[in-house]
């Protein structure tokens, strides 16, 4: 059993002016870096972030997804022991990569999404010991997890009912609780887990597998409702990809694209028309990154401005109100990364400070007891 140290910090809620872009907070809480690793992950109702090599999680903990050896939710950042370089958050589970490239997972495991060979939950980080090659990148969603290894091999584990693990098996096939290659080919550089689909990039080309009932694979009107092997979507070259519940987005060149269901205008196109293939939603700015979940997303432009769109009932767009936005709308400056959960979003600014907005009733904003919080509010981490 790993010894667990709990770090409780005083709640301090510092509002953020979304137009001015000033963080409004004290200095001295830096420590961010730019090594290309994912240091911030917003799940359904929990969030994890890395400062330096220290991992902190907060929010809902009913299945142990905070990794602190209990099932008590936290509304303040709590230290997860270890030295970490990357993190991913699913619905009720979390996976992270340590400084040696080892993959560890914890939390809910009903479909084998922890990759440890069974379906029992884990309350503390548990290593995926069947991997012998270091992990380059990991992503997680509702009930499956995917990773790209340092040798370019794409692997997955967990739920596979809709072919999201790309094994070409029969419908309703059994879930897979240990890592398995998703392709016989190497050369993968990125992967994104949607709720029941997976997309990955190989030499800039997107491939997808799994659920396609909302055209989230971008294979065109008339394509099948489900694919069970990785199928070429677009040659790109694609720099970034991300998958939500029934939609996907990415950056091709410097343009921002989305596709899939659009009934809540979650594609950011300003209308409710389904996009059957990748369609550019903004070509006026140079885009670097994009993240989506169920009802919308956020994207970072080259000048470190962040733009968000979609549902805003919980204030998750950080605009200081609860009005939906149907096209990418500026929500502040000096951002380095962003992660979008179901009803909340969190971001890291270039000074290494972390901020969250949106639904906070489960503690997923990390700012102490909170309801819906429509302005970016700083997550106060303990001093280094």
- Output the DSSP codes for 230-276: EEEEE---EEEEEE-SSEEEEEETTEEEEEE--TT-TTSSSS---EE
pTM summary value = 0.90
Long-range contacts formed by 180-187: CB under 8 A, 24+ apart: 180/155, 180/156, 181/153, 181/154, 181/155, 182/146, 182/154, 182/155, 182/156, 182/209, 182/230, 183/153, 183/154, 183/207, 183/230, 186/151, 186/152, 186/153, 187/152
Pick the CATH number of 40-379 from 2.60.120.650, 2.130.10.30, 3.40.640.10, 1.10.3720.10: 2.130.10.30
pLDDT tens digits for 130-155? 999 999 999 999 999 999 999 999 99
What pLDDT, on a 0 to 100 scale, did the predictor assign at position 43? 96
Across all residues in the chain, what is the average pLDDT?
91
pLDDT tens digits for 236-283? 999 999 999 999 999 999 999 999 999 988 999 999 999 999 999 988
| Residue pair 183/230 in contact by the 8 Å Cβ criterion | yes
């Amino acid at each position: 059993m790993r010894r667990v140290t709990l770090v409780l910090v005083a709640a301090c809620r510092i509002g953020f002016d979304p137009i001015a872009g000033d963080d409004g907070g004290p200095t001295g809480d830096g420590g961010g870096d730019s090594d290309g690793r994912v240091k911030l992950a917003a799940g359904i109702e929990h969030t994890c972030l890395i400062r330096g090599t220290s991992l902190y999680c907060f929010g809902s903990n009913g299945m142990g997804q905070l990794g602190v050896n209990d099932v008590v939710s936290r509304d303040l950042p709590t230290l997860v022991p270890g030295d970490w370089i990357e993190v991913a958050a699913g619905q009720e589970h979390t996976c992270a990569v340590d400084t040696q490239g080892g993959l560890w997972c914890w939390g809910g495991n009903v479909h084998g999404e922890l990759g440890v060979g069974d379906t029992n939950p884990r309350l503390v980080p548990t290593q995926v010991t069947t991997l012998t090659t270091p992990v380059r990148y990991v992503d997680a969603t509702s009930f499956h997890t995917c990773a790209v290894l340092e040798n370019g091999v794409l692997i997955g584990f967990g739920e596979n009912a809709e072919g999201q693990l790309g094994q070409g098996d029969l419908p309703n096939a059994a879930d897979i609780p240990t890592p398995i290659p998703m392709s016989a080919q190497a050369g993968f550089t990125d992967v994104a887990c949607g709720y029941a689909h997976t997309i990955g990039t190989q030499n800039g080309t997107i491939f997808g597998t799994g659920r396609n009932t909302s055209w989230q694979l971008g294979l065109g009107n008339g394509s099948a409702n489900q694919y069970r092997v990785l199928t070429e979507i677009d040659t790109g070259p694609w720099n970034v990809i991300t998958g939500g519940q029934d939609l996907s987005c990415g950056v091709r060149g410097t343009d921002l694209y989305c596709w899939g269901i659009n009934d809540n205008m979650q594609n950011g196109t300003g209308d409710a028309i389904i996009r059957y293939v990748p369609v550019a939603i903004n070509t006026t700015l140079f885009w670097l990154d994009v993240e989506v979940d169920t009802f919308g997303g956020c994207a970072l432009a080259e000048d470190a401005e962040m733009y968000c769109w979609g549902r805003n009932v919980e204030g998750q767009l950080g605009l200081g109100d609860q009005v939906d936005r149907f096209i990418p709308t500026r929500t502040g400056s000096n951002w380095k990364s962003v992660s979008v959960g179901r009803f909340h979003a969190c971001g890291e600014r270039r000074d290494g400070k972390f901020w969250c907005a949106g639904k906070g009733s489960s503690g997923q904003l990390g700012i102490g007891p909170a309801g819906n919080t429509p302005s970016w509010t700083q997550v106060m981490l303990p001093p280094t």
